[in-house]
Amino acid sequence: MLVAEAAVAGSIPRFEIPHWRERLGVAAGITGRGADAGRGFDLGLWSQAPVGEVMSRWLAFRREMGFSAVVLGNQVHGTEVMPIDSGCGWIQVEGIDGWVCTTPGILLTITVADCVPVYLAVPRRAVALLHAGWRGTAGGLLERGLERLLAAARVDESKVVMHCGVGICGGCYEVGSEVMKGCGAAAEGPGPWHLDLRHTLAEQAKALGISDVTTSSWCSAHDRSFFYSHRASRGSDGRMAAYSGLSPGPSRLLPTDLPGNI
Ligand SMILES: [Zn+2]
């Protein structure tokens, strides 16, 4: 089923998966490009933007979200998924393409611009957030993430809800035969071919026993006025942060958070 993340009013540009807060107890969504000229609300830590400006946007993001910890890292298009269940402030780990968490108040993030953020949730119990480009999708990132989530939440797959978030659509994602074959899609004829990564991930989810799966109707490339697209910008665009976390209780909210307290 197609579901559009909805714009949220506030001090930063962001979009949330509708009803996840009430239904699942999970804050999950993605930041957007924003209306500012220039690089907009670029959160790319390893992209071309000046680091000081990027970090000030991360601080604004954290203040807006009200979580006591934010988890981030530089992804490597691999299949490592790491459980994070304690800590406060900024938690940064290198070389990880997915996170799992059972602790309210910790916000998982990944940075994307075309790759698909995959959100998995066990209502009010656990979340996982995966960075699924074609290599992760082909390499079994979803299966690994699901395994880690089920182990952490101590439930079976029937309890899992999944959303394939804002990423590049099949029409905008032209690929070579190695990508098609890697993702188990037929590469017939002379090419080039088009791959719908979110469709591939939804099919994988079905095979893994996840029945509650939705897909974003946004495309990072052809909806580039709201989002960033690596492909459509020929590599010059910024990055969005996809996020997911069990909503913090009132006692876990930080009343103040000093800028620069990184
Ligand atoms: Zn598109």
pLDDT for 115-144, tens place per residue? 999 999 999 999 999 999 999 999 999 999
Whether 258 shows a pLDDT value over 60: the answer reads no
* 162-215 pLDDT per residue, tens: 999 999 999 999 999 999 999 999 888 888 899 999 999 999 999 999 999 999
CA distances from 72 to 17, 44, 89, 92, 198 (A): 20, 11, 11, 5, 23
Percent of the chain with pLDDT over 70: 95
Nearest to 61 by CA among 242, 253, 247: 242
Compute the distance from residue 223 Cα to the ligand 1 centre, in Å: 7
Structural domains of the chain ordered from first start: 2-246 (3.60.140.10)
Compute the distance from residue 173 Cα to the ligand 1 centre, in Å: 7
Compute the distance from residue 43 Cα to the ligand 1 centre, in Å: 22
Q: So what's the pLDDT on residue 66?
A: 94
Nearest to 240 by CA among 34, 44, 59, 10: 44
Q: So what's the pLDDT on residue 51?
A: 87
Question: Which residue intervals of 94-234 are DSSP H helices?
Answer: 134-139, 141-153, 177-182, 197-207
pTM of the predicted structure, to 2 decimals = 0.93
Q: So what's the pLDDT on residue 251?
A: 44
Q: So what's the pLDDT on residue 256?
A: 47
Q: How confident is the model at residue 154 (pLDDT cuts 50, 70, 90)?
A: very high
Q: So what's the pLDDT on residue 38?
A: 77
Compute the distance from residue 220 Cα to the ligand 1 centre, in Å: 7
Whether 257 shows a pLDDT value over 50: the answer reads no
Nearest to 80 by CA among 95, 68, 93, 58: 95
Compute the distance from residue 182 Cα to the ligand 1 centre, in Å: 21
Residues 149-173, mean pLDDT to the nearest whole number: 97
Compute the distance from residue 221 Cα to the ligand 1 centre, in Å: 5
CA distances from 120 to 19, 27, 208, 237 (A): 14, 12, 13, 27
> Residue 51 belongs to what H/E stretch?
helix 51-65
* 39-97 pLDDT per residue, tens: 899 999 877 778 899 999 999 999 999 999 999 988 999 999 999 999 999 999 999 99
